[in-house]
Amino acid sequence: MKKFNELYHYFFQSTKGLILLAMTAISVITAVWGTLSGPMVEWGVRDVVVGILGMDLASVERSGRIIMLYHVIAMIVVAIEVYIMTSIIPMRKHQQSTINATITVGWITAMIFGLAFGYFGHNYFYHGLFLVGQSLIFFAGLLLTVALYPWRKDYLVTNNEYAHTKKGYDLERIAFFVMAASMLISAGFGAVTGSFWSNGHETFLAEDLIREPGKTALQKSIIGHLHIMLTLIAVAITLIVGRWMDWKGKLHKVGMPLMIIGTIVISGGVWSVVWTHMAHTFIYVGSVFVMLSALLLVIYAWAKLIRERIAEQGIENPTFFQKLAALLHDPIKFGPFWQMVFMNFTVSGVGIFMAVKLEQIFRVWPAREERVTLTGHWHILSAIVATIIIMYYVDIAGIKGKARKWFGWTLIIASDIAFAAVTIFSMKRLFVIEYYEQPLVNLTMLLTDFGLGAVLVITGALLVWRLIDLFKKDDPLWQKEANDPELDINPTAELTQAGRDRIKAQIESEGI
């Protein structure tokens, strides 16, 4: 019973345990639900899984099922980001525990009942509880936004190297706050439309509407919603890894305003898609700001990795190759920023290329080809965010030595092979005519399956290692993490005297 209590405390009350729990849930869902499409269907795996689990896969309900599935996964990803934020951004302890508890109950409820409704029969009790789960997550977001409120004197920047206003307000905290507030409003665009379900709004996948000239306001709202939610998830992970690297100095001071302005402009642009054709212009402008900020982070992070490794080695005048070796020394810290760079080739670059070649491509390609490109590019962006989270987690878990290097390089190389293969597959019409496409299709599909399979295998290995650790008697890692549950903070701002006084006064008034 004691161990059970300790495990409960670890998994539901420590940041590291909460992240592990959420990652496990996503991995299991990905492993099982990944068998329902693609080559798994041809190999007959889907039929076996459907039979064993008793799934109900009516063909007409596919769109709805997929919507439930990616909402479930997205909710858990958001929860992981929230756990990290409540740990690394200074806030009151009770705020952290309330936010974490609310979002944990939220994603578990949404996961269980969302998947139950989507895949195991249409009991509307399940659907109702799915909505309850989502509402709890929204409420946790509300609490987080309040906790992040940056214009109070409790948390002021004392180290001049971090971006701040003249009054000392923390610009990074403002960036987190803007992201969280934007996410709440953007969630509203999905929720309001969802409330019209079967009452003027019908289930659809955005990629199926790409060539419909007369989209309804509700359809535009949903299309905007899904784009901005993924963008904000990416913004959040960028800010998180920036804090992980203790981003500061001149690049921080330039990067943070760019990130704040970019987040506001993109969000506003996406929301405006419901009313105006100009939305894309706003989105492009905002994207430039956000991507410039991310570029500055990459420059800072890589320079730091080189500097620290060279210092560790005691090299005084390093050559180019020594610097390169230093950069690549730790794949787990090099990887997230490499993935951000790589994203430009597989996501942003593709998007810009498509936009520039709009007339040449979309008048010529069938919608199905365009659909593949679009779905490919946002699947890649989601997967890149996932790989960054995994690398961050490997660092949290304290994996060192060869295991760290093998894991890191396998994750980077395998995932990038898959992403590159998907990109080439989706744009194959640029390189090869239909008659000769089969070898390219076969090769890119093989590489995609290999890459994604390798990522799943090593992630599975990581989780099995953590599972075995739960049963270890001598000095298990989970107990250490339970005793040291928080992440490295590298705080940009510190609790001020005013903040201390406020807390003290509150404690006294509440008689605690």
Partner 1 sequence: MKLIKALLPLLVLVSFSLAADEIDYVDTGVDPDTWITIPSGDFNFGQHNHVKTTVEFEIMATHVTNKQYANFLNEAIAQKAIYVKTDTVWGFHPGDPFDEYLHEFEIPAGDYPLVPINVPGLRLNYVDGKFSPKSGYGNHPMVEVSWFGANAYAQFYGYRLPLEIEWEKAARGTDVRPFPWGDHIERNRANFISSHNLFEKMFDDVVKTTPVGFYNGETHNGYKTLDNRSPYGLYDMGGNVKQWVGDDHKYVHYRYMRGGNYNSYELYLRVWVRDSAGPEHTSMSLGFRCAREPVVEVETSATDSVATE
Name the residues that contact partner 1, by CB under 8 A.
37, 41-42, 58-60, 62-63, 202-203, 208, 211, 213-214, 277, 358-359, 363-368, 424, 430-436, 438-440, 442-443
Pick the closer one to partner 1 by CB: 52 or 60.
60
Round to whole Å and give the CA distance between 452 and 86.
31
Please report how close the Cβ of residue 119 comes to partner 1 at its closest, in angstroms. Answer: 16
Q: How many other CB atoms sit within 10 Å of the CB of residue 321?
A: 8
Tokens of 200: 């003027």
Pick the closer one to partner 1 by CB: 31 or 443.
443
* CB of 291 closer than 8 Å to CB of 266: no
* CB of 192 closer than 8 Å to CB of 353: no
Measured in degrees and rounded to the nearest 5, phi and psi for residue 170 equal -80, 115
DSSP conformational letter for 154: T
Classify each residue of 19-51 as buried b or exposed e, where b means 16 or more C-beta atoms within 10 Å of its C-beta: bbbbbbbbbebbeebbbbeeebeeeeebeebee
Residue 183 φ/ψ region, left for φ over 0, alpha for ψ in the -120 to 50 degree band, beta for the rest? alpha
Residue 472 φ/ψ region, left for φ over 0, alpha for ψ in the -120 to 50 degree band, beta for the rest? beta
Burial label, 214 (beta-carbon count in 10 A; 0-12, 13-18, 19+): exposed
Please report how close the Cβ of residue 200 comes to partner 1 at its closest, in angstroms. Answer: 12
Round to whole Å and give the CA distance between 259 and 368.
35
Nearest residue to 305 (alpha-carbon basis) of 364, 387, 386, 246: 246
Please report how close the Cβ of residue 288 comes to partner 1 at its closest, in angstroms. Answer: 23
Please report how close the Cβ of residue 277 comes to partner 1 at its closest, in angstroms. Answer: 6
Please report how close the Cβ of residue 295 comes to partner 1 at its closest, in angstroms. Answer: 23
Pick the closer one to partner 1 by CB: 94 or 363.
363
E strand or H helix at 457: helix 438-470
Please report how close the Cβ of residue 431 comes to partner 1 at its closest, in angstroms. Answer: 5
Pick the closer one to partner 1 by CB: 230 or 440.
440
Pick the closer one to partner 1 by CB: 1 or 433.
433
Pick the closer one to partner 1 by CB: 34 or 485.
34
Pick the closer one to partner 1 by CB: 138 or 204.
204
Give residues with Cβ within 8 angstroms of 219, minimum separation 6. Answer: 204, 209, 212
Round to whole Å and give the CA distance between 262 and 248.
19
Pick the closer one to partner 1 by CB: 285 or 440.
440
Please report how close the Cβ of residue 218 comes to partner 1 at its closest, in angstroms. Answer: 14
Please report how close the Cβ of residue 211 comes to partner 1 at its closest, in angstroms. Answer: 5
Please report how close the Cβ of residue 338 comes to partner 1 at its closest, in angstroms. Answer: 21
Give residues with Cβ within 8 angstroms of 271, minimum separation 6. Answer: 185, 186, 189, 224, 228
Please report how close the Cβ of residue 208 comes to partner 1 at its closest, in angstroms. Answer: 8
Pick the closer one to partner 1 by CB: 200 or 398.
200
Pick the closer one to partner 1 by CB: 375 or 490.
375
| DSSP structure string for 252-287 | HHHHHHHHHHHHHHHHHHHHGGGT-TTHHHHHHHHH
